[in-house]
Structure 1
């Protein structure tokens, strides 16, 4: 029972850190600010995490797990290009919830450039995400739902870079403008239908 409580508290700290990072950036994530956000002492935080980088990685994983869960929920049993589009949509910051998650990811990206453990977490997540997209694209090609005259490996890299780049660019726009701005990606995906 203690282990569950400890894990639950770590998740609470990660979520609070993610929200703090989303609102105030990495510079706003201090142990003092985090303790205040959680309504606890700084000493309590050191019971769950050894240093700031561990907290940052936990916040990053919290955000990523939520993005992954939304994308998995969008996957349909009958997988076609029409069911692929909601998966890609689920990975973009098109609402307040996903906006928070992508703000955490974007802040971590900058932080990771100078912190080895965070950089490894970021790279590992990118490998996982590329693999998921690649598996989906290969399946769509194999089942005849998208053109197979384009290399699945190349299409995976292009799709990954477009989604990640677009997600970061969308963060600079008001939520109300993001859907229209992202529409070009959905038009491009539509062009993958077999001729």
Structure 2
């Protein structure tokens, strides 16, 4: 029971820390500000985390995992692999509501933090992105074999396009008013539709 309570409390701290980062930026995340938000002392925080850096990384992982889980949940109920996977996956992976907006703001702070600090955090992000690209490439190749995606386009090229397109769109959407984001992202789905093979119409012979 103690283990569950300890993990639950760590997750709560990570959640509140992520909110501070999303709303005010990484520089606003101090142990004093965090303790105030949680209604506890700085000493209590040290019981769950050994340093501020640990809290920062926990907040980033909290947001990162929620984005990943959101995307997995979006396709979990689909019966078979098809190009239609992309639609709910892209929708779930973009900051189109308040919850995902917060998660993406934290994620972009994570990228900036890792790029400036380097070390283990940067290595983990590079490995994660690499693994995601491999999975995406395999997914595209499977769709091409099934005739769901055009075969005249290199699957590696589609993978790079899809990944960079969603990442770039997510960043841009953070600067668009929330009510306008859905329509602003519509072009992404139009691009996905361009990946469908062009079906040759069947010509029915006319009886003589």
- Relative to structure 1, the CA distance from residue 82 to residue 157 in structure 2 (aligned partners, 3 Å threshold; closer, same or farther) is same
- Relative to structure 1, the CA distance from residue 94 to residue 144 in structure 2 (aligned partners, 3 Å threshold; closer, same or farther) is same
Q: What is the alpha-carbon distance in structure 2 between the residues aligned to residue 108 and residue 33 of structure 1?
A: 19
Partner of 2:140: 137
Counterparts of 1:20-169 in structure 2 under 5 Å?
Answer: 20-75=20-75, 76-115=78-117, 116-169=119-172
- Alignment length (residue pairs): 195
Structure 1 residue 112, shift from structure 2 partner: 1.3
TM-score (normalizing by structure 1): 0.93
Partner of 2:196: 193
Q: Is the 8 A contact 1:53 1:117 kept in 2?
A: no
Q: What is the alpha-carbon distance in structure 2 between the residues aligned to residue 52 and residue 124 of structure 1?
A: 24
Moved more, 109-118 or 68-77: 109-118
SS in 1 for 2:13: helix
- Relative to structure 1, the CA distance from residue 6 to residue 46 in structure 2 (aligned partners, 3 Å threshold; closer, same or farther) is same
Q: What is the alpha-carbon distance in structure 2 between the residues aligned to residue 166 and residue 191 of structure 1?
A: 18
Q: Which has the larger radius of gyration?
A: 2
Q: Is the 8 A contact 1:57 1:121 kept in 2?
A: no
Unaligned runs of 5+ in 1: none
Q: Which among 172, 175, 180 is matched to residue 177 of structure 1?
A: 180
Partner of 1:14: 14
- Relative to structure 1, the CA distance from residue 142 to residue 57 in structure 2 (aligned partners, 3 Å threshold; closer, same or farther) is farther
Runs of 4+ in 1 over 4 A off after TM superposition: none
Q: Is the 8 A contact 2:148 2:196 kept in 1?
A: yes
Structure 1 residue 42, shift from structure 2 partner: 0.8
**1:134-188, CA deviations, whole angstroms, 9 ceiling, x for partnerless residues?**
3332222222111122121221111111111110111011111111221111111
